[in-house]
Amino acid sequence: MEQRDRWATKLGLILAMAGNAIGLGNFWRFPYQLASNGGGAFMIPYFIALFFLGIPVMWIEWTTGRYGGKYGHGTLGPMFYLMARESVKPKTALIFGVIGGMLAFSVSSLLSSYYYQVIGWSAAYTYYSLTGAYFGQDTVKFFLNYVANLKAVIFFWGITMVLLGIAVGQGVSKGIERWVKVMMPLLYVFAILLVIRALTLGSPVKPEWSSIKGLEYIWTPNFTALKQNFFKISLAAAGQIFFTLSLGMGIIHNYASYLGPEDDVALSGLATVSLNEFAEVILGGSLAIPIAFAYLGPEQAIKGGVGLAYMALPNVFMHMPGGRIFGAMWFLLLWFAGFTSAIATYNYLVAMLEEDLKIDRKVGTWVVFVFLFLLGLPVALDSSLVYLSELDMWVGSYFLVLLGFFDVIVGVWLFKPDNFWEELHKGAFINVPEWFKPIIMYIAPLFMAVLLIGNTKDYYS
């Protein structure tokens, strides 16, 4: 059998995984979720979900992925089949394979259909910041005009997709790994420069407004607000953990499948979580909200919603000294973050063609290109963004948790908990303490079951 592509360097692997996880979720979704769910109230269930859900599922997905890769598979269908066979008959195992494969395929492609559009917006806004196109204009109108301008939308989305196709077409070690090695360091540098700018803004508009107040809003635990809306806030926080860590999508499994069978997963999985959380709560948390607090005041900042990044912040850049540069930097940061995540879903779909159907990678890449273009077209055509929001609600939260639930059922329970524990520790640089095992086996799946039931009930009430 032909040797599968593998990560060439440890650094490349870690940057690719960090790039996969660090995305628009960190800089666009996190701030507005935080603001719509009471700031300091949101952070409490957020950290609880990180510990009891995020870390366990991350380890399961790395372990499952490396196991599949050992047998030459990078997609969820065959992985689940192989693992389930440890305790059930091949025919039953096949059912789990089909469920996993279909879920991961649907999530990866539907997620891409709207996520790539939002990356396209960032490309456009990088350009509009540099030229100052929205300066002096009503930024809400400007945004709505932009999304209704089909030519512009398709142009910026199209460039993004072509670049994605090129990167993925070159393969894992020669393409993806090289691209992320350039983009990820730049992303961190931009984010740190912007954070310094954000936190030194002072009170440019009113003495009682400042970016530091924005930080206080995030970091003062608010138990009263949490109690009032306990279920809603907890669900949102757990959903964000899934989204930001790229869990329940199939893409962590896929990246992990390009490891060698004895490469560490325990420490690397934890490193992915840490790099992502640093980029989310420290960097992402110190940008959109604090900047909006300083220029627009607490009320407007909190009300910003989905449009915070694209409608509220341009308002700020047009009044900020050096606004064209800082604006461009912010949108390019979003573009890099989105791009290095999008590569992962793109690669997942190409891997399906390449490995499950034996289609050449180069050909597969452009087949996926056409497929994703067609799937994204209705999103591009709907300038009311209703379809996009609907997709984000369903795919971006419900389906992720559903797939995460199957991760535990198949990767831990059917594969057998002892096998899982042994596999997790193969070649591991750290020992996961024994007391964490019940968290993975019982608490994580129970937590997810509650979320799924809660979400479903929410929908019907």
CB of 119 to ligand PHE, least distance (A): 9
> Which of 37/112 has CB closer to ligand PHE?
112
| Alpha carbons within 13 A on the beta-carbon side of 395 | 22
Whole-angstrom CA distances from 308 to 49, 218, 292, 301, 367 are 24, 16, 8, 8, 35
Residue 318's CB is within 10 A of a number of other CB atoms, namely 18
78 binds ligand PHE (CB under 6 A): no
Which residue lies nearer to ligand PHE by CB, 265 or 342? 342
For residues 354, 358, 361, 362, the Cα torsion angle rounded to the nearest 10 degrees is -140
User: Judged by CB under 6 A, does residue 25 bind ligand PHE?
Assistant: yes
Q: Which residues, numbered 243-282, are part of the site for ligand PHE (CB under 6 A)?
A: 243-244, 246
Among 14, 19, 26, 253, binds ligand PHE (CB under 6 A): 26
| Residue placing its CB nearer to ligand PHE in the complex, 78 or 284 | 284
122/129 with CB nearer ligand PHE: 122
The span of 121-129, 171-179, 266-274, 337-345 binding ligand PHE (CB under 6 A) equals: 337-345
Q: Compute the least distance from the CB of residue 386 to ligand PHE, in Å.
A: 20
CB of 28 to ligand PHE, least distance (A): 8
Closest contact distance (angstroms) between CB of 327 and ligand PHE is: 21
* Contact residue for ligand PHE among 12, 23, 45, 404 (CB under 6 A): 23
Distance CA 426, CA 375 (A): 40
Picking from 268, 232, 191, 279, the residue whose alpha carbon sits closest to that of residue 424 is 268
Nearer to ligand PHE, 210 or 341 (CB): 341
**Residue in 211, 234, 345, 365 binding ligand PHE, rule: CB under 6 A:** 345
Q: What's the closest the beta carbon of residue 111 comes to ligand PHE, in angstroms?
A: 5
110-149 binders of ligand PHE (CB under 6 A)? 111, 115
| Binder among 53, 344, 372, 410 for ligand PHE (CB under 6 A) | 344
Q: Which residue has the tokens 């490309």?
A: 123
Nearer to ligand PHE, 243 or 369 (CB): 243
Show contacts with ligand PHE in window 94-113 (CB under 6 A). Answer: 111
Q: Which of 16, 18, 21, 279 binds ligand PHE (CB under 6 A)?
A: 21
301 binds ligand PHE (CB under 6 A): no
Cβ-based burial of 373 (10 A; exposed 0-12, middle 13-18, buried ≥19) = middle
| Packed helices 76-84 and 90-131: angle between N→C axes, nearest 10 degrees | 150
Which residue lies nearer to ligand PHE by CB, 26 or 315?
A: 26
Residues sharing a CB contact under 8 Å with residue 139, sequence separation 6 or more, in sequence order: 311, 312, 314, 315, 318
CB 300, min distance to ligand PHE, A: 25
Q: Which lies closer to ligand PHE via its Cβ, residue 161 or residue 296?
A: 161
Nearer to ligand PHE, 92 or 274 (CB): 274
C-beta separation of 344 from 125 below 8 A: no
Binder of ligand PHE out of 24, 172, 236, 353 (CB under 6 A): 24
Select from 18-26, 59-67, 309-317, 378-386 the region that touches ligand PHE (CB under 6 A).
Answer: 18-26
What residues make contact with ligand PHE under the rule CB under 6 A? 21, 23-26, 111, 115, 243-244, 246, 341-342, 344-345
